[in-house]
Amino acid sequence: MTKELGITVKKSSDFSDWYTQCVLKSGIVDYSPSKGFIILRPYGYAIWEIIKDILDNELKNTGHKNGFLPVLIPESLLTKEKDHFDGFMPEVFWVTRSGNSELGEKLAVRPTSETLAYSLFSKWISSYRDLPLKLNFWNSALRAEIKSTKPLIRNSEFLWQEGHTAHTDEIEADEEVKLILGLYKKLIEDYLAIPTISGLKSDKEKFVGAKYTTCLESLMADGKVLQMATSHHLGQNFSKPFEIKFLDKDTNEHFAWQTSWGISWRIIGALIMVHGDDKGLILPPKISPTQVIIVPIYKDESKEIVKQKACDLENKLRAHNIRAFTDDRDEFTSGWKFNEWEMKGVPLRANIGLRDMKENQVELIRRDTKERFYVKEGELVNKVLIILEKIQSNMFDSAKNQLQSNTRTAASLAELLSILDATGGFVASSWCGKRICEDLVKEKTTADIRIVPFDAKEKVSACIACGNQDTIQVYFGRAY
């Protein structure tokens, strides 16, 4: 690989440029001709497919069903829940024409589907027998992002799933919100190897139209924090305007209780920001499209025999459901291949050459620690399985260390500011609960309340903004 094909900037020296080079050069994304829009290239899409399969399976196992909703939503539906509409209005793309004709009513390009879904829920739900209704949609959402776009993190269109449910009572909806947050946490921690902090959003930061929003937040390597996933309790805020009513066993009519929740491709961006290094991506084995890349090392005279051996090893690994591939392209040198797969973040590389074959061995190179070792061919499958597990847990552990050592406490606004400027990360501080204090902290530090822990400590110290003693401890951070 030539120098300019690799990552030319250090992660620690220019994080933003490093990130952009990583996502573009590894073949994850490319820019679309329209500003703010991106393409997901095959390597990026393959990661998304793996993530999707894992979550889809979990959702189906917990009784959710998939469906399809149109991408165009009539304006009149979007305006039905006022807070919701006001929140999304500035970033909605509007279809006003078809062919050469003006449309009678403008159509919004889906910023999210609550309004459309719930106009249908009101048709589908009439009895307690129709509940719970638990639907999910794998699609894309569009929100015009003109300024500060960042591939996968902030774009005008993003892939995601959006779940929409309706329940007979408030507590069942509470449980659904919690169940989903748990599934997201499992996906992000156990598969993407990214530790999270979970809790509630403040009223200011919650989803427009929600009763409350629960959320997972993670730390990126530059000290900024990122919202990873949200799960909302909608109360009856939508069921009333949309008239989602059911006849209960007691023959009384009630409005349904609802939830909505989503996770997007931004977690792929997080994956890169958290785990990558100066050479490029490092992917956790569980979500890496290629878990083991086999590079046959040969000269002209040994070509056939070494390639055949590489192919045999690949088959052996694949028979044990290990995603192994052989890079047997003649038009690139071994060194070029090493650099390319390193940049793409494949967790384990296996080199095989004529000398190894004579010794009945394979050379393995870990992407995360760069360790190299030789294993006997007969032990290859077992060793690979063990190493992949080690890589997975090592990646989570080191990200967890990062998170813990960058989670600090500040007892004053000045202290909060100095921590944020010095290291970033999450900062636990006491807050009285008032919006005016939240706004003041934002104004002075540009940090938001990222999360109100479910078990927030009370009255640890005075509110860092107003000095009131009646406080809870929340996490502040500067966010993407």
d(CA 140, CA 160): 6
Q: How many residues bind a copy of itself (CB under 8 A)?
A: 54
* DSSP class per residue in 253-273: EEE-EEEEEEEETHHHHHHHH
For a copy of itself, give the closer residue by CB, 15 or 93.
93
Report the residue number, 39 or 305, with the smaller CB distance to a copy of itself. Answer: 39
DSSP string, 148-176: S-BTTTB-SEEEEEEEEEEESSHHHHHHH
We find the least distance from the C-beta atom of residue 238 to a copy of itself, in angstroms, to be 15
Nearer CB in complex with a copy of itself: 94/373: 94
Judged by beta carbon, residue 100 or residue 251, the one nearer a copy of itself is 100
Q: How far apart are CA 352 and CA 313, in angstroms?
A: 9
Among 7, 22, 23, 38, binds a copy of itself (CB under 8 A): 38
Cα 298 to Cα 309: distance, rounded to the nearest angstrom: 11
Rounded to a whole number of angstroms, the minimum distance from the CB of residue 159 to a copy of itself is 6
The residues near 303 (Cβ < 8 Å, ≥ 6 apart) are 330
Reported in sequence order, the residue ranges of 340-383 that DSSP labels E, i.e. its strands, are: 348-353, 361-366, 372-376
Candidates 12-20, 116-124, 403-411, 414-422: pick the segment binding a copy of itself (CB under 8 A): 116-124
The binder of a copy of itself chosen from 1, 24, 50, 120 (CB under 8 A): 120
Q: Write down the least CB distance from residue 322 to a copy of itself, Å.
A: 17
434: tokens are 């008032």
To a copy of itself, the closest distance from the beta carbon of 1 in angstroms equals: 13
Q: Which of 250, 300, 331, 455 binds a copy of itself (CB under 8 A)?
A: 331
Read off the amino acid at residue 324.
Answer: A
Q: Which is nearer to a copy of itself, 65 or 457 (CB)?
A: 65
- Distance CA(159)–CA(111), nearest Å, equals 12
At residue 198, the 3 state secondary structure works out as: strand
Using CB under 8 A, pick the residue from 5, 39, 319, 414 that binds a copy of itself: 39
Contacts of a copy of itself in 42-101 (CB under 8 A): 42, 44-46, 48-49, 65-74, 77, 89-100
What one-character-per-residue DSSP string does 414-477 give? HHHHHHHHHT-SEEEEEE-S-HHHHHHHHHHHS-EEEEEETTPPBSSS--TTT--S--EEEEEE
Nearer to a copy of itself, 77 or 364 (CB): 77
Q: Of 70 and 335, which has the nearer Cβ to a copy of itself?
A: 70
455 forms part of the interface with a copy of itself (CB under 8 A):
no
Q: Which residues bind a copy of itself (CB under 8 A)?
A: 30, 32-34, 37-42, 44-46, 48-49, 65-74, 77, 89-100, 107, 109, 116, 119-120, 123-124, 129, 135, 140, 142, 144, 156-157, 159, 331
